[in-house]
Structure 1
Amino acid sequence: MFPRYRLVGFCGLPGAPALGRLGTGAPGQRAAEVEKVAHRYAAGREPLPVLELLATVANASAGPDGTYRSRTPAATIRRFHRVARDRRALLLLNIQPGRAPVLDEVKALRDWLVHPDVGIALDPEWEMARGQVPGDTYGRTDGHELTEVARYLSGLVEAHDLPQKPLVFHQVATSVVHAQSALRPQPGVALIKSADGIGSPGLKRGTWQRLVHDLPDGLHTGFKLFYEEDARGSRLMTPEEVLALRPQPEYVMYE
């Protein structure tokens, strides 16, 4: 996947505009839009559009099974996968696990993950421990759990003779990922650490520098932008400014 491509995507869920760009308009319209944005980030690479669909969504209420999460219907995932395939894009299935075990949520998506153009994105700030409620505090993961997910994806890649599969984890603060040094790359999986966080260009550069400091070997970088929140009281960073970050982000995602 790298260094051939630069991934550029929109995230969200249909009918939920507050959760990202994919929450408004038809999936085909959003795919055409992100394709144009992706070309602004090429900078010597092949631009690869991404649709990052929320497949597991954290909730403020426990729900009938006490997991504080809900799953996106298969029909919605199928619709976005069809669009991604038609546009030669990647479909990333984003997981906000609530109190559900992360690997269980990944395994629940197996029927989609055996396709060559489907990967996983994790949002560990929504990964709650016992007694925690989504939205009240940041959740967390660690290098061991991320390695476990990567190992599962690696097994699918090998068993089904798939191309390298992306595994993204979004990180909003240093506290969200513990024991990062325990993260172990797995064959057939491209690990991408995406710097999250809302703010002005200066604030976002500061978050970037903290999160990419002392990166483990084999870990690629991503950068997240917010169309509305970043511009509130400031402005959205330009592609040129994002590409000037070091190391240069290999996945750029807009919410």
Structure 2
Amino acid sequence: MAAGVVVLMVATVVGSVQATAQEDTSTDVVEVCVAARRLPDGRIETGLQRRSEGGDCGERVLPRRRFMPVVAEARRWLVTSSVTLGGNELRVAARRLAGGSVEFAVQRRLDEDDSWSARLRPQRRFLPAGSAAGRWLSSSPVDALAAPPGSVLESAQVVSFYGHPGVPAMGVLGGGFPSEVADEITTWAAYYDRLNGPRDVIAAFHLITGVAQQYATSDGTWLGRLSAERIAEYVEVARERGMLVFLDNQIGWSDPLTEVKLLEPFLREPFVHMALDPEFATKRQGERPGLVIGSVTAAEVNEVQRYLAELVQEEGIPPKILMVHQFSAHMLRDRDAVEDVDGVDLSIDMDGFGGVAIKVAGYEAYAVRQPSEYPGFKLFFKYDTPVMTPEQVQGLDRAPDLIIYQ
């Protein structure tokens, strides 16, 4: 069953009340909607609605502190004061996005330590940038008592297109505008969805953001980095369509953690994940990228995992996927020392091209074995002989959780 596209909030016509010290009867499920409207002066007013037995979002309950200022830093979460619904103390979290739309979530005060829960995101949760002033819109319902979000890979496969914008030779992602590439990925994802039974399939961009260079760069890293503005184009298309994004770095003469930290604003998004390509990490050999096959160490991978886990904890988001490409044993040094880090799903993918037998052997040697938790498999439209069909991929002894097309 294919994962759905995230859509915008819808209009509602209901009354509003100021929050009071009301006491509702607690239940095991408290479904609420976020209500929001854009004011003529540009501020955003927010409230909460309790879902009725009939399924509608009910009367708006307005927190005392409920206005998002006109000038609010993009991607920074702001919160309202709390209201009580269903015997639970709740608040709205909201943030402006780069394109002018506003994203909403709900948080519940936790009894055990008086802190707040992870942000619970309704499926329909965006106030559009061009919404009419004064018109209330409502999110889809979300259970305010729900457990923190789990790994996307527990219930879904991922099908992605790999590459660099405007450079088709580096992968199929570079063959069109983000929206065009998204359409094509979605078609491939739907094909896999017809083969994998009840499991979902999610389409993804696999975007090379740090590209190894043939010539030394001024900072000594031998890397060309994609601009934040260009990365944001893919992130916003993915947000609109309910896709994932993998930010891929070829490391060069830099180090993995330094490069990952440069991408932090994007990695704080729940649908943006990370990939490392040891092939071009050649500083240890003292050779420029491309002349020899590079490597990363278990210690470097562990550093990145711990850093991603901190972001997961801070943001209250699902586990991050960290993908490490491998097609040769030495590309991941001290492999047995790679740690199992809570909050991070480690995927090692078979990144080599060639005939079916050698690809399957590499998949079993590198992607299926520990410490890889979710095996990945890359297919090369140009270099595989032949390109395995989706039926062949799904027919592997262990079907890959992540499928990448280059």
One fold, TM greater than 0.5?
Answer: yes
2:235 aligned with 1:81 = yes
Given the two structures, how large is their TM-score scaled by the length of structure 1?
Answer: 0.94
- Give, in angstroms, the shift of residue 229 of structure 1: 1.1
- Give, in angstroms, the shift of residue 214 of structure 1: 4.2
One of 287, 298, 307 as aligned partner of 1:143 = 298
Task: Judge conservation of contact 2:368–2:374 (CA < 8 Å) in 1.
Answer: no
**Residues in 2 aligned to 1:180 and 1:41: alpha-carbon distance in whole angstroms:** 31
User: Per-residue displacement from partner, 1:111-164 (whole Å, max 9, x unpaired)?
Assistant: 111111111011111112241211100000122211110110000000111112
1:155 maps to amino acid: E
2:347 aligned with 1:196 = no
**Residues in 1 aligned to 2:182 and 2:369: alpha-carbon distance in whole angstroms:** 35
2:152 aligned with 1:18 = no
- Give, in angstroms, the shift of residue 25 of structure 1: 1.2
Identical amino acids, percent of aligned pairs: 36
**Residues in 1 aligned to 2:339 and 2:192: alpha-carbon distance in whole angstroms:** 29
Cα distance change of structure 1 residues 118 and 213 upon mapping to structure 2, 3 Å threshold: closer
2:320 aligned with 1:165 = yes
Aligned residue in 2 for 1:228: 382
Aligned residue in 2 for 1:249: 400
**Residues in 2 aligned to 1:9 and 1:194: alpha-carbon distance in whole angstroms:** 13
For residues 88-237 of structure 1, what are the structure 2 equivalents within 5 Å? Answer: 88-130=242-284, 131-212=286-367, 214-216=369-371, 219-230=373-384, 234-237=385-388
Aligned residue in 2 for 1:39: 190
- Give, in angstroms, the shift of residue 41 of structure 1: 2.1
State the secondary structure of the residue aligned to 2:153. Answer: coil
- Give, in angstroms, the shift of residue 247 of structure 1: 2.4
**Residues in 2 aligned to 1:51 and 1:149: alpha-carbon distance in whole angstroms:** 21
**Residues in 1 aligned to 2:241 and 2:299: alpha-carbon distance in whole angstroms:** 35
- Segments of 5+ residues of structure 2 without an aligned counterpart are 1-151
**Residues in 2 aligned to 1:135 and 1:2: alpha-carbon distance in whole angstroms:** 32
Q: How many residues align?
A: 251
Cα distance change of structure 1 residues 251 and 214 upon mapping to structure 2, 3 Å threshold: closer
State the Cα RMSD in Å. 1.3
Aligned residue in 1 for 2:212: 58
**Residues in 1 aligned to 2:186 and 2:240: alpha-carbon distance in whole angstroms:** 12
**Residues in 2 aligned to 1:220 and 1:210: alpha-carbon distance in whole angstroms:** 14
- Give, in angstroms, the shift of residue 212 of structure 1: 4.1
User: Per-residue displacement from partner, 1:54-86 (whole Å, max 9, x unpaired)?
Assistant: 111111111111111111011110100011111
- Segments of 5+ residues of structure 1 without an aligned counterpart are none
The higher radius of gyration belongs to 2
State the secondary structure of the residue aligned to 2:282. Answer: coil
- Give, in angstroms, the shift of residue 175 of structure 1: 1.6
User: Per-residue displacement from partner, 1:5-25 (whole Å, max 9, x unpaired)?
Assistant: 101100111111111111111
1:175 maps to amino acid: H
**Residues in 1 aligned to 2:311 and 2:205: alpha-carbon distance in whole angstroms:** 21
- Give, in angstroms, the shift of residue 87 of structure 1: 1.2
**Residues in 2 aligned to 1:49 and 1:150: alpha-carbon distance in whole angstroms:** 23
